Amino acid sequence: MNEKAGRPRNQKNFIGWSWGFGVATAHIPRAQKFFGAFFQKRTAYFLAAATLLVLARNIWTDSTFITPRPTTIMTDRNGVFMAQLGGGPGGYGYWPVIQVPSRVALAVLALEDQRFWDHPGVDPLAMLRALRQDATSGRRVSGASTLAMQVARMQHPQARSLGAKLTEAAAALVMTARYGREAVLAQYLMLAPFGQNSHGIAYAAEWYFSRPVQDLSWAQIALLSAIPQSPSLYNLDHPAGLARAKARARLALIRLHGQGIIDMPDYTEALADLAQLTPRQYPERQPEVLHAILLTAAMAAQGPPAEQLHSSIDLGLERMVDQIATQRLAGFEAEGARQVAVIVADRQSMDVLAFLGSSSYTAQDEGMVDYALRWRSPGSTLKPFIYAQALDRGTISPVSMVLDAPDSGTGVDNADMRFLGPMLPAQALANSRNVPAALLVRKDGLDASHWFLNRLGLSDNTSPAERYGLALAIGGLPTNLTRLLTAYGALANDGAWRPLQWYDGQPQPAPEQIISADTARLITLFLADPMARLPSFGRMGATEFPFPVAVKTGTSQGYRDAWVVEYTAQYVVGVWMGRPDGQPMDELGGAASAARIGQDILLKLYSNETDGQNDGSFTPPPGTQPQEVCASTGAAAIGHCAQQMVVYLPDGTALPALPVPGLSAKFRIVAPLDHALFILNPDTPPGLAVLPLRVASVSGPAQVEWYVDGQPYQMANAGETVEWPVTAGRHVFEAESPTTGLWSKPVVVAVQ
């Protein structure tokens, strides 16, 4: 075969390609080595750059000023310490120093950073000194932290190490460059620890010496400047710590004197002051005031932060209230009472003077629960507002007759299952009769009554009126002691409602006129009349005082809650007593328990009064005059009237005279004798002491109906002697001839 013909086609090109491929593949290892090294270097550069960026970011963050929320010092109305509120990281304090007083700056720098104005945030000379001292002694002798480095460490604490020190140094350099030395100094003085878990020299000035930092003396400045180096070592609460702090303070004064900053007279005076200097010792926070502190703090937290918060609480009064309530509660434990809450407020301003949320702030008996805020059934304490609405709407007047009778159609009964018949509104309210109050709710309308109680702030208005029904009048609407006391404040202040005042400067809306002034004064007079409480509440009990007091008690169904709210011309007092589990007490009502506490408190408040009337009488509505009316009819008390009452009516109001149905001298009571006095024999068994009742024998009447204290007692034949079981007190006896309409003249006797 021809050689030329036998050579493969494109052989030359094939050979060239093969040679080129061989050359290329021969250089692959070297290419890999070259490009691998290139990429490795780039990765290293990238990692290094990323690391530097992270470090730079961390340093930038560490050098950024932080501003913790300042602590508020709460005091009572007399300036006595109550609490610290709103602690920042690591404790309390952190009051900003807007402008650093020059004397403070000089004293702090004399001890902490003498070359502060010369270095850029890190002091190389101090570092060299520290390294030399540490190397010589073989241990850490002194530090080299500047104020800027300390600020960085206080803002971002971390374990002490070389890396941490380098980070602090870098942050200090950046911080000083960013903000300037003056700002760094102010930041240090806001964050530096000054012992007792507090920070910042402005806060320390108030904490230890009760004065602004600008008003500190040289001795006080020097003593405070000594603390930040080691707050535990220089603890001013301990004698040894105070002595060490004074020694370091003397060093500051020596340096300042040596620098010519303090002259000799001031230096000598400062040393003498320092030797006698005693920081203020704060009292321990008392448990009885914790609920008041928490509630005041919650109210104040709604506004901007403040360095000082002056509470309306009077700590002396708070302790007195706690002592009375605790002692009384112990006496009622046998009847099942376990907890108590009390509020005392100034009547005119509604400042909360004392606030006891529980008998003790402990887990025992759930004392950490604030029972003044807990929703409970208020019993009869809502009735004054039912009568106030009826008076304002014209449903009743002071001389209207309200009916206390069974089968009223309300489905409501009286707690004592007794019925007193027609009554004046003052009597029905003061006797706390359930039936008349329910009838008034029905007359005024359930929705209107519910709306009115909500407007007074007694409810949160989340449930419709139908849920409560006519029980609105007798405690079916839950409320709490704080809301109840506020509503009674409207009655006490001529119908003007205003919220409770917890601290100075608390935002207050304008008073809202919810009840007319005339009606509020009438209700007050109803509640302050001890005669109007008869016969349901006896005289000289827990609801009676030697000075004018408007009182209303309440007891919830099943004796689960006992209440009283009372007010004078100066105070409004509210008391709740009950059980944490809501279980019934042993027939312990408001008049027998809570009213005792309220009475004790008011008597103590007025114990310095030489005359019980110094508190002042309650003022009747303007343009009214007192008039005597018959309690059983509301008509003018002329002629026959078993019980008279004084009511205030507009000038010129003419009352009809009480019809006198055939008073006759022939129809008279012959036993007992009028104005007789009877002494009970203590040896007579109960139930056997009786008083004979007899009328003169007359022609005509076949039967006689006897009335005792205005209430029907017994029907008898005309000549029959009726026996009445004797009870102590003043009693009125009357006889009526139903067939002739004749009435006897009332006979009044006293039994002792």
Q: Is the pLDDT of residue 92 over 60?
A: yes
Mean pLDDT along residues 591-600: 95
Q: Tokens representing 701?
A: 């009447």
Q: What is the mean pLDDT of the chain?
A: 85
User: SS3 for 22?
Assistant: helix
Cβ 692 vs Cβ 721: under 8 Å:
yes
Q: Is the pLDDT of residue 392 over 60?
A: yes
Q: Tokens representing 53?
A: 């960026």
pLDDT reported for residue 609: 59
CA distance 532 to 429: 8
CA distance 750 to 752: 7
pLDDT reported for residue 133: 60
Q: Is the pLDDT of residue 730 over 50?
A: yes
Poorest-confidence range of 16-25, 548-557, 649-658, 664-673?
16-25
Q: Is the pLDDT of residue 44 over 70?
A: no
> What residue has token string 């109050």?
437
What ranges in 497-629 are assigned the alpha helix state H? 517-528, 594-605
Greatest alpha-carbon span in the chain: 181
Mean pLDDT along residues 690-708: 76
Q: Is the pLDDT of residue 612 over 50?
A: no
92-116 burial, b at 16+ Cβ within 10 Å, e below that, comes to: bbbbebeebbebbbbbbbbbbbeeb
Mean pLDDT along residues 428-435: 93
Residues constituting the chain: 752
Cβ 537 vs Cβ 543: under 8 Å:
yes
Cβ 200 vs Cβ 154: under 8 Å:
no
**Which residue would you say has higher pLDDT here, 262 or 285?**
262
Mean pLDDT along residues 142-161: 82
CA distance 110 to 750: 89
User: SS3 for 639?
Assistant: coil
pLDDT reported for residue 12: 44
Cβ 476 vs Cβ 450: under 8 Å:
no
pLDDT reported for residue 27: 53
Poorest-confidence range of 47-56, 497-506, 592-601?
47-56
**Which residue would you say has higher pLDDT here, 47 or 429?**
429
The residues with which 703 forms a beta bridge, in sequence order, are 717
User: SS3 for 598?
Assistant: helix
pLDDT reported for residue 31: 55
Cβ 604 vs Cβ 324: under 8 Å:
yes
Q: Tokens representing 1?
A: 């075969």
Using CB atoms within 10 Å of the CB of residue 364, give its burial: 0 to 12 exposed, 13 to 18 middle, 19+ buried: exposed
Render pLDDT for 325-355 as a digit per residue (tens, 0 to 9).
Answer: 999 999 999 999 999 999 999 999 999 999 9
pLDDT reported for residue 446: 92
Poorest-confidence range of 209-213, 311-315, 638-642, 685-689?
638-642
Provide DSSP, 617-685: PPPPPTTEEEEEEETTTSSB--SS-S-EEEEEEETTPPPPBPP-----TTS-EEESPTTEEE---TTSP
**Which residue would you say has higher pLDDT here, 352 or 142?**
352
Q: Is the pLDDT of residue 218 over 90?
A: yes
**Which residue would you say has higher pLDDT here, 240 or 464?**
240
The residues with which 729 forms a beta bridge, in sequence order, are 751
Question: What residues have CB less than 8 Å from 490, skipping those under 6 apart?
Answer: 456, 496, 497, 498, 514, 515, 520
CA distance 515 to 494: 7
Cβ 216 vs Cβ 224: under 8 Å:
yes
What is the C-alpha radius of gyration for the chain, rounded to an integer number of angstroms? Answer: 43
Q: In what order do the strands lie in the sheet with 669-671?
A: 669-671, 690-695, 722-725
CA distance 138 to 167: 24
Mean pLDDT along residues 715-741: 81
Record the pTM: 0.76
CA distance 92 to 84: 7
What are the angstrom distances between the C-alpha of 403 and each of 406, 425, 536, 674?
9, 9, 16, 31
Render pLDDT for 471-482 as a digit per residue (tens, 0 to 9).
Answer: 888 888 999 999
**Which residue would you say has higher pLDDT here, 667 or 2?**
667
> What residue has token string 């609480």?
313
Backbone angles phi, psi at 503, to 5 degrees: -155, 160
CA distance 289 to 319: 8
Q: Would you give the end-to-end CA distance of the chain in angstroms?
A: 164
**Which residue would you say has higher pLDDT here, 37 or 678?**
678
User: SS3 for 40?
Assistant: helix
CA distance 381 to 564: 7
pLDDT reported for residue 302: 82
Q: Tokens representing 683?
A: 């040896």
Question: What residues have CB less than 8 Å from 386, skipping those under 6 apart?
Answer: 437, 440, 441, 444, 449, 472, 473
What is the CB neighbour count within 10 angstroms for residue 310? Answer: 17
Nearest to 629 by CA among 647, 649, 651: 647
- Band the pLDDT of 741: cuts 50, 70, 90: low
User: SS3 for 562?
Assistant: strand
What ranges in 259-357 are assigned the alpha helix state H? 264-276, 290-300, 315-332
